[in-house]
Amino acid sequence: MRIDAHQHFWRHDPVRDTWITDEMAVLRRDFLPDELEGVLRAAGMDGCVAVQADPSEDETRFLLDLAERHDFVRGVVGWVELCARDVEVRLERFAAFPRLRGIRHIVQAEADDYLRRDDVVRGIAAVGTAGLAYDILVHARQLPAVRSLVERLPADQRLVVDHIAKPEITAGVMEPWAGHMRTLAEHANVWCKVSGMVTEAEWVGWRPEELRPYLDVVFEAFGPGRILFGSDWPVCLLAAEYGDVLRVVEDYAAHLGEDERAAVFGDNARRFYRLDD
């Protein structure tokens, strides 16, 4: 089964969705399962994991409702207030929904030391205790704080770095991003999503060969057994169609064995998010 481990749904709300700037106007509309289902089918994908885009518990309920009504939405990565005193209660309430597989916060919008805060670490630890995975969404400059977080959490807590931690692909910058990613990969409980790369490159005129050095780093560091393919649809549409995003990773992974390719394009998502539970 081929699984897209990272995509989004929303009903566009201009008051809420202020992150969609004028240059991103193509995203100022609804993106819902009926549209994605056809896109996935055309790309030979069997299902997906829907990831939160708005930091609200309404967003979590919205995604869980969609997952209940569309079987191909195999899992949901939602949002809860991690710093709430009753975070355990909030997590327990949502964990009653079988399609909830993880939690994410938009850390890239926070201060660089956000993940070092005691209340944040406590909240993320509670995610693991609740049996859920945690998605780490950061910019490359925040990776030192990610390392600190990982070292303070249980060694068996499931963590995944979204969008290969958003290196400066447009500028061709490799370090210190590459070194930080190799250090994180030393922790066996940390995985990596090869997603969101085209929107870190030039939106018009990017070339697959610009992405290969970054793919080299993460595949060497994490290995095919801890890498998940994600399209980041519909955000990817700022720079590429779904098939173009998929083709970049498929072409890169062409030298891998059949089992390794199956892992990257589905089996790892099933294992990491426990989609078969």
| Residue 226 belongs to domain with CATH number | 3.20.20.140
Which distant-in-sequence residues (6+ apart) come within 8 Å of 3 by Cβ?
45, 46, 47, 48, 49, 74, 265, 266, 269, 270, 275
Residue 71 backbone dihedrals phi, psi, to 5 degrees? -60, -25
Question: Whole-angstrom Cα distance, residue 169 to residue 195?
Answer: 13
User: Which amino acid is residue 240, in one-letter code?
Assistant: A
Angle at CA 102, nearest 5°, toward 41 and 160?
A: 85
Q: What's the pLDDT at 95? A: 83
Q: What's the pLDDT at 277? A: 81
For the entire predicted model, the pTM comes to 0.97
Question: Whole-angstrom Cα distance, residue 246 to residue 231?
Answer: 7
Q: To the nearest whole number, what is the mean pLDDT of the chain?
A: 97
Give yes or no for a contact between 210 and 248, defined as CB atoms under 8 angstroms apart: no
Q: How many domains is the chain built from?
A: 1
Give yes or no for a contact between 18 and 54, defined as CB atoms under 8 angstroms apart: no
Q: Name the burial class of residue 236, with classes exposed (0-12), middle (13-18) and buried (19+) by CB atoms within 10 angstroms of its CB.
A: buried
pLDDT along the chain (277 residues), means of 10: 97 96 97 98 98 98 98 98 97 93 98 98 98 98 98 98 98 97 98 98 96 98 98 98 98 97 98 95
User: Which pLDDT tens digit goes with each residue over 85-128?
Assistant: 999 999 999 988 999 999 999 999 999 999 999 999 999 999 99
User: Which pLDDT tens digit goes with each residue over 92-103?
Assistant: 999 889 999 999
Give yes or no for a contact between 199 and 239, defined as CB atoms under 8 angstroms apart: yes
Q: Which two tokens stand for residue 261?
A: 């390719």
Range of the domain at 129: 3-273
Q: Which two tokens stand for residue 156?
A: 């068996």
**C-alpha dihedral sign at 113, 116, 118, 119:** positive
